[in-house]
Amino acid sequence: MVQEIAVYAAGQALDAAVLDAMRRVPRHLFIPQRQQPHAYENRPLSIGHGQTISQPYIVALMTDLLRPRRTDRVLEIGTGSGYQAAVLAELVHSVYTIEIVAPLAEEARERLARLGYANVSVRTGDGYKGWPEQAPFDSIMVTAGADEVPPPLVQQLKPGGRLVIPVGPAHSVQYLTVVEKQADGTVRSRQVAPVRFVPFTRER
């Protein structure tokens, strides 16, 4: 799987540490039994509740764009299976991850604990509001397609920090966007690649 995505990324030179982290995380343990034969194919897979575990290449690309450092405290919105959180946990100091579908959050919490990822905290809730009690974060990753960059997330980013988020209409193409918060608090955004994510939903 990693060999295949490294080829996809030829023009882009994904960080070797990111690819190594993905070699260490057993993707087959993050998906339902019936999907397991496909675990190491470069495509998204259903994880139930209408949600998906992202395509491995997209996980690698988003992780790379975050520029993870050993000392970082990272927030992820959209825990899903917990796979992306595990990849991040291999690379940074601690990961805080929020999932709006309670049973998915519960499953991911158990799974990550079973696999020994002691540096990941999972919480059920609407990630739009971020995790103020643990803010500020060195970087933030959103793994659902949002129609805007949630202002609370920018607020909870350290100066110099980065936010990676797919922005665009639901059920359509979004643009993977990197938002960089400058030292003076202003933000600079750039679009990296077209992607298709499950929708970012809001608590009603």
| Active site residues per annotation | 54
Residue type, 147: D
Lookup: tokens for 152:
């609370």
Q: Which is nearer to ligand SAH, 14 or 89 (CB)?
A: 89
For 99, list phi and psi in degrees, rounded to 5: -130, 135
Stretch that binds ligand SAH, among 8-16, 81-89, 110-118, 186-194 (CB under 6 A): 81-89
Q: Which is nearer to ligand SAH, 21 or 100 (CB)?
A: 100
Q: Which is nearer to ligand SAH, 119 or 201 (CB)?
A: 201
Site string for ligand SAH, 117-156 (x = CB under 6 A): ---------xxx--------------xx------------
For 152, list phi and psi in degrees, rounded to 5: -60, -30
Alpha carbon of residue 71 to chain centroid: 18
User: Which of 54, 63, 156, 177: binder of ligand SAH (CB under 6 A)?
Assistant: 54
CB 70 within 8 A of CB 151: no
Site string for ligand SAH, 90-109 (x = CB under 6 A): --------xxxx--x-----
Using the rule CB under 6 A, is 65 a contact of ligand SAH? Answer: no
Half-sphere exposure in the Cβ direction for 82 (13 Å, CA): 31
Lookup: tokens for 52:
């998906």
Q: Which is nearer to ligand SAH, 188 or 204 (CB)?
A: 204
d(CA 114, CA 195): 31
* CA 12 to each of CA 8, 54, 159, 178: distance values in angstroms, whole numbers, following the listed order: 9, 19, 26, 15
Using the rule CB under 6 A, is 78 a contact of ligand SAH? Answer: yes
Interactions with ligand SAH, residue window 168-197 (CB under 6 A) = none
Q: How many residues bind ligand SAH (CB under 6 A)?
A: 24
Residue that is written with structure tokens 């909870």 in the block: 156
Using the rule CB under 6 A, is 198 a contact of ligand SAH? Answer: yes
Lookup: tokens for 106:
């519960």
Q: Contact residues for ligand SAH (CB under 6 A)? A: 51-54, 77-78, 80-81, 83-84, 98-101, 104, 126-128, 143-144, 198, 200-202
